[in-house]
Amino acid sequence: MMHDLAIIGGGVAGMTAAIYAARAGINTVIIEKAGFGGQAALTAKIENYPSIKEIEGFELAANMKMQVDALGVESRSADVTGVEKADGVFHIATTDGDIEAKAAIIANGVRRRELGIEGEERLRGRGISWCAVCDGGFFRKKKVAVIGAGNSALGDAIYLSNLCEEVYLIYRRPYPTATKSYMDALEGLENVHLMPRHIPLEIMGENRVSALKIKNLDTDEESELEVNGIFEAIGLIPDNDVFANVVELDQNGYIVADDEMRTKTEGLFAAGDTRQKHLRQIVTACADGAIAATAAQEYLSR
Ligand SMILES: Cc1cc2nc3c(=O)[nH]c(=O)nc-3n(C[C@H](O)[C@H](O)[C@H](O)COP(=O)(O)OP(=O)(O)OC[C@H]3O[C@@H](n4cnc5c(N)ncnc54)[C@H](O)[C@@H]3O)c2cc1C
């Protein structure tokens, strides 16, 4: 069946685009490979979405998905593996078969950066995590290390401090780079140990993580920190190689789109964290989604 609009990615950008498109009477399919809500759904607490003082990320995402469903948008669980445009139609290859649409919005967000150190590949799924909210429960009353110094890392450390016996926060810089609210929340948490000027060298363990080899950058001293789990929170990177044939990517791999979210391919739009932009937040991702859907509507009506 030919759809008017296909949205790739069911994060807040994609879901907002779906809401706007459905309300405009556009026959829409939204394709999500993991869980609807994307990064927002994995965030413990959101305090900067206008009109909502505080909400769990999962709840915000679930509310949005209910709204999408209530508007009759078709949801598909699949990984998009390629997009091509031929004779004015987008052919979207997915792990659940091909989808055809007259217009498309790429809203695939970003993926988490990995450390790339020894032991990471071997012990993947055996004590290494990129999501404290998802996996923290497996480390109840255990010792864990969080790698990173930004909002994500501090958010993870704060969240894990309620579950774990000890939390070691390891970062290269002299000070965390997180915003004041995270720094304030960290204060007084006796089981969170800040370890500035340290870098991870190797994740150790036979079948599961048992220690992290670290290096003190001021003394060059190497040591082993006994931990059961490692949470990596060292940033996010785009994942757009699969779309490189139909969009322009900047030097960092983000999709280049104009103010109307139009890419270099007519009828193809980009929204949210995946595109080149200054501020990657829920409110800006939602705004992108709304603009992209409106631009898609104009394209379709032409
Ligand atoms: C730990 C953390 C805390 C944060 N806290 C805040 C906060 O407090 N306030 C705030 O405003 N922002 C916060 N952010 C940022 C905010 O979550 C993001 O800017 C926003 O959610 C981006 O939404 P998105 O829809 O563009 O992308 P994403 O949320 O990344 O969603 C993209 C979706 O596309 C799917 N996808 C990817 N590739 C494919 C494919 N090939 N096929 C099908 N589906 C695909 C993914 O599975 C994902 O669900 C936080 C981010 C993190 C990581």
CATH number of the domain bearing residue 144: 3.50.50.60
Could you report the per-residue pLDDT of 170-180, keeping only the tens digit for each? Answer: 999 999 999 99
Domain-located, residue 119: no
241 and 228 in one domain? no
Residue from 4, 69, 131, 239 carrying the catalytic annotation = 131
Q: Per-residue pLDDT for 133 more than 90?
A: no
Same domain, 167 and 227: yes
pLDDT given for residue 1 in this prediction: 85
| Residue 122 is assigned to a structural domain of this protein | no
Domain final residue, candidates 212, 232, 252: 232
Which of 232, 265, 288 delimits the end of a domain? 232
Q: What is the pLDDT of residues 269-287, one digit of tens each?
A: 999 999 999 999 999 999 9
Give residue 239 CA to ligand 1 midpoint distance, Å.
Answer: 12
Q: Is there a single domain that holds both residue 62 and residue 147? A: no
For helices 282-301 and 12-23, give the axis angle rounded to 10 degrees.
40
Domain that residue 64 falls in = 2-112+236-301
pTM: 0.89
**Per-residue model confidence as pLDDT tens digits over 139-163:** 999 999 999 999 999 999 999 999 9
Whether 135 is catalytic: yes
* Domain co-membership, 280 together with 199: no
pLDDT higher than threshold 90 for residue 41: yes
In a domain, 195, yes or no: yes
Question: Is 53 a domain residue?
Answer: yes
The active-site residue, picked from 4, 69, 79, 135, is 135
Same domain, yes or no: 285 and 188: no
- Residue pointed to by tokens 């309300």: 23
- Kindly state whether residues 48 and 185 are assigned to the same domain: no
Quote the number of domains for the chain: 2
pLDDT, averaged across the chain? 96
Using CB distances shorter than 6 Å, the residues near ligand 1 are 8-14, 31-34, 38-40, 43, 46, 48, 79-80, 107-110, 152, 155, 272-273, 280-283, 285
Same domain membership, residue 287 and residue 241: yes
Per-residue confidence at 45, pLDDT binned at 50, 70, 90?
confident
| E strands, 95-210, in order | 99-106, 110-112, 128-129, 143-147, 166-170, 192-195, 198-204
Quick check: is 286 catalytic?
no
In the chain, pLDDT over 70 holds for what percent of residues? Answer: 100
| Residue of 134, 218, 250, 258 with catalytic role | 134
Would you say residue 33 has pLDDT above 90?
yes
Look up residue 95 and give its DSSP letter: B
Residue 90 and residue 7 share a domain: yes
